[in-house]
Amino acid sequence: MVIDLKQCVEILKENDNFLVLSHEHPDGDTLGSAFALMSALKKLGKKRAFMCSDEMSKDFSYMYEGIENDDIGENPFVVAVDVADTHLLGDLAEKYGDKINLCIDHHMSNAYFAEKLLLENRAAACEIVFEVIKALGVEIDEYIANCLYTGISTDTGCFRYQNTNSKTFRSVADLVEIGVNTKMINKLMFETKTKSFLELELLARKTLEYHFDEKCAIITITQAMYEESGSNEHECYPITALPRQIEGVLVGAVIKEKQSGAYGISVRTEGDIDASEICARLGGGGHAGAAGCESKDDYETTKNKILESIRLSLGS
């Protein structure tokens, strides 16, 4: 059932024990949403706990460090934030997939899996959580502002992506006025390049290849590259944006070898080309401009499959 902000606030006020879930491979928006909400619930005297199927990057430690889960008993009210579908809960999907009482999300592709859904087409789930927290009447401190700013800034590529609009800028103006440590967050999220990342980027760049009249660019990142550079999967995210940034490229893809040997594929598109359509053909999904999918085939098959899907969407 789709609910509005007022109903969402009522439901949160009615309950006392909350389990807050983030999606797998947690990013700034799902974590910012979760920890901002956790803090607001705490301020309301509620018990709350957090779970995520995957480890969180240490870059986000300013959100999660020192946050202890409360004892929430056997039957908590389960809230999923920034989770578009149950399988995105990763290992937690089996236990909680059909027990989500409330989902707060901004993906218009949301699978309506939750008992109650607060869904709005905003740049980040954190924008919606910001509205929820304001409506709850909770005082927003620098910690909450930092969490919300993290989600909004990361999900908009620091306000560069097309999902950024005047509401986004007004939300951020309000948060910055409350007090956001933009210096620390921007440096962590957007400014800092480790030496190992720089090495990884150089190795990955050497794999750059063009297809379909240079309208498509593909980069591959292997486990061997992580070893050679001293880098790791957590660091490869910025490379995801690179192929699409090349002049004239309409579809950029990055094929990332996982430790399991499977491949994760990130697709970014330009103009009318729909990245979620490209990834849906391989069982994935996402937004029009940025999407992802996975493949358990070998490298050559994986590459051929994604290239074929890109060809179809390019009409080449």
Could you say which of 13, 58, 205, 258 contacts its own copies (CB under 8 A)?
A: 205
Q: Is residue 162 close enough to count as binding its own copies by CB under 8 A? A: yes
Q: Is residue 242 close enough to count as binding its own copies by CB under 8 A? A: yes
Tokens 């789930």: give the residue: 125
Could you say which of 2, 73, 121, 198 contacts its own copies (CB under 8 A)?
A: 198
The smaller minimum CB distance to its own copies, of residues 165 and 260, is found at: 165
Q: How far apart are CA 114 and CA 107, in angstroms?
A: 14
Tell me the angle at which helices 142-155 and 28-43 cross, rounded to the nearest 10 degrees.
Answer: 160
Q: Is residue 58 close enough to count as binding its own copies by CB under 8 A? A: no
- Pull the structure tokens for residue 61: 């430690």
- Pull the structure tokens for residue 19: 């389990």
Could you say which of 13, 58, 95, 195 contacts its own copies (CB under 8 A)?
A: 195
Could you say which of 11, 135, 136, 158 contacts its own copies (CB under 8 A)?
A: 158
Site for its own copies, residues 172 to 191, rule: CB under 8 A: 172-174, 176-177, 182-183, 186, 190-191
Tell me the angle at which helices 166-179 and 125-136 cross, rounded to the nearest 10 degrees.
Answer: 60
The smaller minimum CB distance to its own copies, of residues 245 and 304, is found at: 245
Least distance from its own copies to the Cβ atom of residue 55, Å: 20
- Pull the structure tokens for residue 230: 């001293």
Secondary structure element (H or E) that encloses residue 5, with its range: helix 5-14
Q: Is residue 202 close enough to count as binding its own copies by CB under 8 A? A: yes
The smaller minimum CB distance to its own copies, of residues 164 and 309, is found at: 164
Q: Is residue 147 close enough to count as binding its own copies by CB under 8 A? A: no
Q: Is residue 245 close enough to count as binding its own copies by CB under 8 A? A: yes
Q: How far apart are CA 249 and CA 263, in angstroms?
A: 22
Q: Quick one: which segment of 84-92, 101-109, 124-132, 164-172 binds its own copies (CB under 8 A)?
A: 164-172
Q: Is residue 272 close enough to count as binding its own copies by CB under 8 A? A: no
Least distance from its own copies to the Cβ atom of residue 283, Å: 28
DSSP state of 188: I
Q: Quick one: which segment of 54-62, 103-111, 119-127, 158-166 binds its own copies (CB under 8 A)?
A: 158-166
**Maximum pairwise Cα distance, the chain:** 60
Check if the beta carbon of residue 167 is closer than 8 Å to that of residue 127. yes
- Pull the structure tokens for residue 133: 């927290």
Q: Is residue 150 close enough to count as binding its own copies by CB under 8 A? A: no
Secondary structure element (H or E) that encloses residue 267, with its range: strand 263-269
Tell me the torsion sign for CA atoms 308, 313, 314, 316. positive
- Pull the structure tokens for residue 312: 């179809």
Least distance from its own copies to the Cβ atom of residue 245, Å: 5
Q: Is residue 193 close enough to count as binding its own copies by CB under 8 A? A: yes
The smaller minimum CB distance to its own copies, of residues 118 and 275, is found at: 275
Least distance from its own copies to the Cβ atom of residue 42, Å: 26
Candidates 156, 127, 155, 142; CA nearest to 184 is: 142
The contacts of residue 74 (CB under 8 Å, 6+ apart) are: none
308 SS3 class = helix
Q: Which residues of the shown chain bind its own copies in the complex (CB under 8 A)?
A: 158-160, 162, 164-167, 169-170, 172-174, 176-177, 182-183, 186, 190-195, 198, 202, 205, 242, 245-247
